[in-house]
Amino acid sequence: MSDLISLSNSSNKTLSAIGKTAAVANATIDTYKATNAAYSAMAGIPVVDPALGAAVAAAAIAAGLQNVSQIASVQLADGGLVKAVTGGVPALIGEGGSDEAVLPLDNNRAMRGIGGLLLRKAKVAL
């Protein structure tokens, strides 16, 4: 399963989607393993009773499903463009094995400076 999950770091959208699906499945399985363990740990205590076991199990489910939701909400940028949204966008940079740049598209001075730097680097590489 870990090999499939590692595909979520791929720069290939199809492979990344497969990895993301595997990560969601694995997180779901882990959620219910934790739920069973939590219930079992509490339910065997004589005074505590299965009621506390059920409460702890419910908390484990809530935490696990929140983790699943976070994994499922991760999206790849389309063509390298990260669209602005309120609160920002969590991003994984450099995962494709190549250098990457994040540029403020509405800042002309910064874009000219960065563009010139990239052009000079490209000429040196040629």
Instruction: Read off the pLDDT of each residue in 31-60 and give the average, rounded to a whole number.
Output: 82
Predicted confidence band at 7 (pLDDT cuts at 50, 70, 90)? low
pTM for this one?
Answer: 0.52
> Which has more confidence, 53 or 100?
53
Measured torsion, CA atoms of residues 14, 18, 24, 26, in degrees rounded to the nearest 10? -160
User: What ranges in the chain are assigned the alpha helix state H?
Assistant: 2-6, 13-43, 49-73, 108-125
